Amino acid sequence: MVTFAVILQGRKHIEFDGRRLSYGPGSFLFVTRERRYVATVDDCTPERPYLSMSLELPPEVVASALLSLVDAGARFEDDETDDDVVVDRLTPDMVEALLRMVATIDDPVGRQVLAPLAQRELVLHLLRHPAGAPLRRAAAGDDGRIRRATVYLQRHAEKRVTVEQVARHVAMSPSHFAHRFREVVRMSPMQYVKHLRLQRARVLMLGEGLGVAEAGATVGYASASHFTRDFKQQFGAPPGVYNKRFRA
């Protein structure tokens, strides 16, 4: 999963592996794999609070967008850098795509129909950006079978699935499949399933009014305590508390 973030007001810096990257309004950050870093807000006051926005860009969307660009004849300059964390300037096209996504927040139909289109447009601009080489590399390793695997997992996330089962579906050995999946998607197949389930459960609770236990069971959790633990790990609060905060 690729994380993309922009700051609307204030400044922030992150530190990892002895490096320090700073960014503010007009810049973006993206991370192409899971990593730990320390983030510090540098500029905010009660009168002028820190405001930011973060998006998770699904790997299948990134891979599909890259294939579309290649099919259309896009050419990219070689870049041998191996950075998986990038800070650079936003382009006007990227800002417009972000604004269209934000405009759908209060529109349920727009969130379902228009937001994915704006998200894909943003990804296309990121891939074509001079700093987009790490994102292109993350997607280029997908040979089609991993894309099919992510689609299969999306369709069966609420059922009991195993690495062996998905590997058979895409005609790969379990060990090779697990290695390639982590290399492309930046998380294990079972972590990806958990991510899909928790995202779906959050929608069921916040958008459709399901209770915690019902939402967990609907997305495939046999244990309510297991669901609560995973939800807290993913979103920073137990599902009941998260639900109350959102509605407040």
pLDDT of residue 89 exceeding 90: yes
Domains of the chain: 2-139 (2.60.120), 143-188 (1.10.10.60), 192-247 (1.10.10.60)
Q: What is the pLDDT of residue 39?
A: 85
Q: What is the pLDDT of residue 82?
A: 62
Cβ neighbour number for residue 51 with a 10 Å cutoff: 12
Between residues 248 and 176, which one has the greater pLDDT?
176
Q: What is the pLDDT of residue 35?
A: 66
Q: What is the pLDDT of residue 34?
A: 65
pLDDT of residue 231 exceeding 80: yes
Rounded CA separation 239/216 (Å): 10
Strand partners of residue 13:
22, 40
Per-residue pLDDT, averaged over 70-85, amounts to: 73
pLDDT of residue 79 exceeding 70: no
End-to-end C-alpha distance for the chain, whole angstroms: 29
Task: Choose among 187, 75, 198, 19: nearest CA to 29.
Answer: 19
Between residues 122 and 151, which one has the greater pLDDT?
122
Q: What is the pLDDT of residue 110?
A: 92
pLDDT of residue 138 exceeding 80: no
Rounded CA separation 186/35 (Å): 10
Q: What is the mean pLDDT of the chain?
A: 87
pLDDT classification of 166: cutoffs 50, 70, 90: very high
Q: What is the pLDDT of residue 228?
A: 92
pLDDT of residue 215 exceeding 80: yes
DSSP state of 222: S
Per-residue pLDDT, averaged over 55-84, amounts to: 76
Please state, in angstroms and as integers, the Cα–Cα distance from residue 215 to each residue in 87, 153, 221, following that order: 37, 19, 9
**pLDDT more than 90, % of the chain:** 42
pLDDT of residue 70 exceeding 80: no
